[in-house]
Amino acid sequence: KTRLGEELVSWARQQGVLSVTLHAYAASRDLAYTALVDALRSPTLAPLVRRLDPVWRTELARLLPELLAEFPQLAPPEPLLERWQRQRLFEAIARVLVGDDRPVVLLVDDLQWHAVETLEWLAFLFRFRPQARLLVVAALRTDEVDASHPAAAWLLDQHSAGLVTELMLAPLSPGETHDLVRQVAQRAVDEATTQSLYRFTEGNPLFVIETLRSAPDFAAPDIGETAPAPHTLSPRMAAVIQSRLAYLSPPARDLAALAATIGRSFSYAVLAQASEQGEELLVRSLDELWQRRIVREQDTNDYDFTHDRLRDVAYAAISPAQRKLLHRRVAGALVQASADTDA
């Protein structure tokens, strides 16, 4: 998703379109206005800030105190005590982007990590100049957003106003994976290797690229017919998956570990029998795994991990002592399930 957005921004710049990216990081989600401040200080927007009327530059001095030193005649901004004052700040930022009739492309990467203030400013921007030639492209990791996440409420509001078109990025097909492998490897790659790589990555473009970067001289036997051990994952692949699991609540993370012990596919009956969670907590935890796209429903009572590598990393995180305990529970649950079937 990020690469797709970056390609759009690159293309827009080549067409002479003002193009800006708002970056956010997991560690900065609680820092208000960080992404906007970085953008306003960028070489793209800094000259536009300085062309604003003084009244709007005064507002921006709340975020860019260097403006007061650069323009001594500016009056220091008053403290933000009232909501209307924040609206003036929002308008000042919006005027930098859409103050005239030029076309603008704004990429908001990792929407799920942006501060609430950035989301509120975006909502203001959409309504500030409805006739503006503005395209906002937001990239979102839906597996990190549940119903209580600020980005979920923000998206719902924009959908209600008819301001959002949502595009889900599907995994690459085997043919698309082959094309990407040839592009990244920059050499001829045999069909057996690309097929093996497709099975390993399941068409996830990030995993394809990171696997190639971590093993540039890979061959089909290196990847093999079955998944390699989790420690053979590239550091970035492992970090991406670990971060997804880290966002889970402790009960959901424990349930993911138990499910990983069972295997990629598992039934609700076996999971419930092996788990020590009560039924209500079990259902909540399983629902969280489903909402976060860690697992998916295969049948009425059957589930599997959405990606084999998720299961690998979840299983690798279990301590040896805990792993023995979980295997005993799973074995007992499988015996009980078999007895129930035979009865």
Domain that holds residue 252: 241-333
In 3D, which of 257, 264, 234, 223 has the Cα closest to residue 329?
257
Same domain, 124 and 205: no
Q: Each residue of 39-69: b (16+ CB within 10 Å) or e?
A: bbeeeebeebbeebeeebbbbbbbbbeebbe
Q: Which of 109, 132, 160 is the last residue of a domain?
A: 160
Same domain, 222 and 310: no
Residues in CB range of 338: below 8 A, 6 or more apart: none
**What is the pLDDT, as a whole number, of residue 224?**
41
User: Is the model's pTM score more than 0.85?
Assistant: no
Same domain, 39 and 129: yes
What is the full DSSP assignment across 76-139?
Answer: PPPP--SHHHHHHHHHHHHHHHHSSS--EEEEE--GGGS-HHHHHHHHHHHHH-TTS-EEEEE-
**What is the pLDDT, as a whole number, of residue 219?**
52
In a domain, 6, yes or no: yes
Q: Please answer whether residues 329 and 285 qualify as being in contact, where contact means their C-beta atoms are separated by less than 8 angstroms.
A: no
Same domain, 24 and 53: yes
**What is the pLDDT, as a whole number, of residue 343?**
53
Same domain, 94 and 60: yes
**pLDDT by residue for the chain (343 residues), tens digit each?**
888 899 999 999 999 999 999 999 877 777 889 999 999 999 999 999 999 999 999 999 999 999 999 999 998 998 877 777 889 999 999 999 998 889 999 999 999 999 999 999 999 999 999 899 999 999 998 878 888 889 999 999 999 999 999 988 888 999 998 888 888 887 778 888 888 888 888 888 888 888 887 766 555 444 444 444 444 678 888 888 898 898 899 999 999 999 999 998 999 999 999 999 999 999 999 999 998 889 999 877 899 999 888 999 999 999 999 999 999 999 999 998 877 765 5
**What is the pLDDT, as a whole number, of residue 216?**
60
